[in-house]
Amino acid sequence: LNYIIVAPARFDSVIDHLRVNFPDEPLNASVGLCLHGTPCPLLEHHDMKTMEDGYSLMAIDKENDKIAGVALNGVSHKGDTEKAVEEMKDIDNLQYRRIFGLLNEANLELDLFTKYNVDKIFEVRILSVDSGYRGKGIAKELFVQSEAVARKHGFKVMKTDATSLFTQKVAESQGFWVEKTLNYHDFKDENGQKIYDTRPPHLYYKVMAKLLE
Ligand code: ACO
């Protein structure tokens, strides 16, 4: 496989890859924001914005030029989460609000910018491997290479909202530590029903970080 930066000419093929493969992400699978093979405008807007930062990586199969996996890496600046919370007020989509509401709230409370005294953080936002290529260490290699990109561009802090146990394992193997853990099944709606009925082994959302100095 070749691991390369996602150039603008490949943005649309990355979106095609994500439409097929990212709906398996545990939070998405539990609330049903994006369905397999179907456009998912709210998340795809977020994906495009992230790719425009220029730090995203893709693993390409040299044999057939197929995208085997991607790490969409973006830059978060101090104040971005507060802005996202404001913008969320204009978004009606309940599934989107449930996913990003959880992530935004956790990140607001953590405030890693103040904790580590930085004004920007390198974020692995979307990690996705084609279902035909999973279990071969591609996510791990995308993480290793993403860290190299972050170091090359002088970032001091790298983080990920690890919503899947598999991402948590990869991040832990790369020396990331847990900043915050939330148990999905603790969240209930007004009728006492689970809001995030994630399937085992994906029972926790962990915000994980690493200092790159
Ligand atoms: N069952 C058990 N363990 C598994 C499985 C599985 N099906 N798949 C991966 N793992 C474990 C591996 O054993 C490894 O752990 P180890 O180092 O302790 O052995 C770890 O997870 C990573 O394995 P990789 O082979 O590097 O992962 P892979 O290339 O298969 O990609 C990914 C993992 C990206 C999570 C893939 O399953 C996927 O695309 N899922 C759908 C989207 C998703 O959930 N993305 C992550 C959301 S979090 C985020 O985006 C920041």
Backbone angles phi, psi at 103, to 5 degrees: -65, -45
Residue 53 near residue 74 (C-beta atoms within 8 A): yes
Which of 166, 174, 178, 207 for a ligand 1 pocket mutation test, highest count of atoms within 8 Å of Cβ? 166
How many independent structural domains does the chain possess? 1
Protein residue with its CA nearest to atom 4 in ligand 1: 166
Name the pLDDT band for 32 (thresholds 50, 70, 90).
very high
Q: What's the CATH code of the domain at 47?
A: 3.40.630.30
Give yes or no for residue 72 CB within 6 A of ligand 1. Answer: no
* Centroid of ligand 1 to alpha carbon of 89 (angstroms): 33
Buried b (16+ CB within 10 A) or exposed e, 75-111: bbeeebbeebeeeeeeeeeebbbbbbbbbbebbeebe
CB atoms within 10 A of CB 131: 11
Give per-residue pLDDT as tens, 41-59. Answer: 999 999 999 999 999 999 9
**Domain residues for 200?**
2-211
So what's the ipTM on this one?
A: 0.98
Give per-residue pLDDT as tens, 58-89. Answer: 999 999 999 999 999 999 999 999 999 999 99
pLDDT at 213 over 90: no
pLDDT attached to residue 42? 95
Give yes or no for residue 81 CB within 6 A of ligand 1. Answer: no
> What atom in ligand 1 is closest to the CA of residue 25?
44
pLDDT attached to residue 57? 98
Q: In Å, what is the CA distance from 166 to each residue of 105, 138, 145, 172, 189?
A: 23, 12, 17, 10, 27
